[in-house]
Amino acid sequence: VFAAQVHDKDGSLVLGEVIKPVAGPNDVIVRVEAAGLAPGIFHQLRKGAIPILPTILGHEIAGVVESAGELVAPEIIGTRVRVHPNLSCGICEYCTTDREMMCSAESMIGHGVFGPRAIPRYTEYHNGGLAEFVKVPASNLDELPSNVSFELGAKVHDFANALHALRLAIHEPGSTVIVTAATGAMGTATMALAREFGVARIIAVGRDSERLAKVVSIDPDRIRVVHISDDDTADGVVDRIRAIEPSGAHAAIDFLPAGPGASLIFGGIRYGGRIVHMGMNPAPFPVPPARIAYACISFIGTRNCTRRDALDVLSMIARDPDRFSALITHRFPLEDANTARAMLESRTEPIWMSVISPSH
């Protein structure tokens, strides 16, 4: 089986043959047709959050069920599926209340470990989608609607994360929402889904004016752009936001993975609004609590989607798949996985979403 493995924290993908996975009683083997790749995974790798090496990365997987373990209904064989990558215990207070990302046994297939009790299950399923075949629990399969391509199916996880952020941010139709890191996968996914929440206006915030101009095409009626640069002051940024939405935005969704961006846009949120942070930004948030209290702003931190988010977003996508497929700007064969990785990490080229297809 042809696969791209990582052997160390450096993140180089080693292409070659690996032993084909064998399904346990409750598993299936999926022939991978498309796998998502995003720069965040290499950041996790360098941080040491990917504890088993070598491993096959790739948590965004779509393909066809090739074979099934003895306790799995054989009718599933041949089905077009996406793989829900989240592994959790299924019985704790979080898993039973649609908040499984907080489970202490949370990990992700083809990704990393997020809880102290995650290792046993992760050990079983750490290999992900950058391979011709992957072993996953049958309970993690979602059937793809016939009009949803494998490529789009592979990206459901990103769309589900965006949906999760929108659910926390948008409380009423007609809202204006600020989206930071608007030119990346999460920003573009959020803007494509915003109309499903009755969002009236999207203020896309980013550092590259050329790339910002391009994202307007995702929803020209709703999207306006605000360019920020390193020497910007909060007052300057807020003036530009309020020139578009004088009363301030109802919410901001912040995907910035670094830097002080969230504090720059903070004053662009109206009283009673919300800021949802999903960017895992390690920089301090330099806004005094008194200001947050005075403006009655809710600061909401979150990470990862739930199974419900994934299933809901899959039906939204299936209603208009072409609109969402348009966000997939880059496609690579598995042989070119290192080229894909270099492009993603250097950010030299504007990439909204990229997928890798293992060749057969």
Q: Which residues bind Zn ion (CB under 5 A)?
A: 88-89, 92, 95, 103
- What does the alpha-carbon distance between residue 305 and residue 128 come to, in Å, rounded to a whole number? 18
Question: C-beta of 96: minimal distance to Zn ion in Å?
Answer: 8
Residue nearest to Zn ion (CB): 103
- What does the alpha-carbon distance between residue 131 and residue 56 come to, in Å, rounded to a whole number? 7
Q: What is the radius of gyration, based on Cα positions, of the chain?
A: 20
Nearer to Zn ion, 119 or 234 (CB): 119
Question: C-beta of 94: minimal distance to Zn ion in Å?
Answer: 5
Asked if 156 and 44 touch (Cβ cutoff 8 Å), the reply is: no
Question: C-beta of 90: minimal distance to Zn ion in Å?
Answer: 6
Nearer to Zn ion, 1 or 89 (CB): 89
Nearer to Zn ion, 95 or 256 (CB): 95
Asked if 275 and 188 touch (Cβ cutoff 8 Å), the reply is: no
Nearer to Zn ion, 88 or 183 (CB): 88
Q: Residue 145 carries which DSSP code?
A: P
Question: C-beta of 253: minimal distance to Zn ion in Å?
Answer: 26
Question: C-beta of 125: minimal distance to Zn ion in Å?
Answer: 16
Q: How many CA atoms lie within 13 A of 52 on its CB side?
A: 21
**Amino acid occupying residue 253:** I
- What does the alpha-carbon distance between residue 31 and residue 232 come to, in Å, rounded to a whole number? 48
Helix (H) or strand (E) holding 137: strand 133-137
Q: How many helices (H) and strands (E) does the chain have?
A: 12, 18
Question: C-beta of 129: minimal distance to Zn ion in Å?
Answer: 24
Q: How buried is 82 (Cβ within 10 angstroms: 0-12 exposed, 13-18 middle, 19+ buried)?
A: buried
Q: 159 in helix, strand or coil?
A: helix
Nearer to Zn ion, 117 or 242 (CB): 117
Nearer to Zn ion, 78 or 116 (CB): 116
Nearer to Zn ion, 88 or 161 (CB): 88
- What does the alpha-carbon distance between residue 195 and residue 233 come to, in Å, rounded to a whole number? 31
Question: C-beta of 329: minimal distance to Zn ion in Å?
Answer: 36
